[in-house]
Amino acid sequence: MQNFDFIAYKKMVKTYQENNDPTGWFDSIYKNVQGDFTKVFWADLEPSPYLVAWLKENHIKKDTKTACVIGCGVGDDTEALSEFGFDVTAFDISPSAIELCINRYKNTKVNYVVADLFDYPKEWFEKFDVVYECNTIQILPNGYRKKARVAMSSLIAKDGYILVSCRSRNEGEKEDEIPFPLSKSEMDEFVTIDKLKEISFLAYDDEQIPSVPHFFAIYLK
């Protein structure tokens, strides 16, 4: 994104986190683009190819299948799930992000809503056949990461899946500023603590220059 001040951005995030408000800064990112979703600096503007590849394998064989997208941003992954026949609820804590999605996808079938992962509607508990998480945990500090992981796992219906996409780091490698990539041991807590079953786990480098290491994992409840 042109003219985006990454130094000011990282200082802003750090200030919010130091004041125990780890998500309070999100809305400013979306509000500042003034309705132009293409200017959201972290938006890929296309669905994850790993998500699409998984969807093509048609793991959920039900007449009515539900999905939830956490921190939906500008909606590319969300709309992919919808196109593959899912009844999708997509939420973001940022009202401006949800407004961007609604304006971008005029004829969408998706239920775009403002919601907080840490205080989501009680009727969402264990509701969804598929939960999709992309890059939410990695922008949270310290104990909020574990709290977010537990909340995500609680959204999954019995025999449902969660797909997790994130930046990765080696064990013991320290990150001092946002984003805070996940280690394999952090990812393993979906299994060791949340009692999910690991179906697949991919470590790969993306196509940026320089490339950035990532994980893409799938777990079953």
Q: What is the pLDDT of residue 118?
A: 95
Q: What is the pLDDT of residue 116?
A: 96
pTM of the predicted protein model: 0.92
Residue 167 host element (H or E): strand 156-167
- How far, in Å, are 1, 97, 197, 218 from residue 187 at the CA level? 30, 27, 12, 10
Question: Which amino acid, residue 148?
Answer: A
Q: What share of the chain is helix, strand, coil (3-state, %, to 5)?
A: 35, 25, 40
Q: What is the pLDDT of residue 3?
A: 66
Tokens standing for 107? 């004829």
Provide the β-strand partners of residue 87: 66
Q: What is the pLDDT of residue 1?
A: 42
Q: Average pLDDT, whole number, for the chain?
A: 91
Handedness of CA 116, 30, 137, 92 (dihedral sign): positive
The CATH topology of domain 44-220 is Rossmann fold (3.40.50)
- Residue pair 219/197 in contact (Cβ under 8 Å)? The answer is yes
Residue 142 predicted with pLDDT over 90: no
How does residue 8 score in pLDDT terms, banded at 50, 70 and 90? confident
* Dist CA 176 CA 170 (whole Å): 14
Tokens standing for 189? 């807590």
* Dist CA 66 CA 82 (whole Å): 9
Q: Where do the structural domains in the chain lie, given as residue ranges?
A: 44-220
Task: Read off the pLDDT of residues 179-194 as tens digits, 9 standing for 90 and up.
Answer: 889 999 999 999 999 9
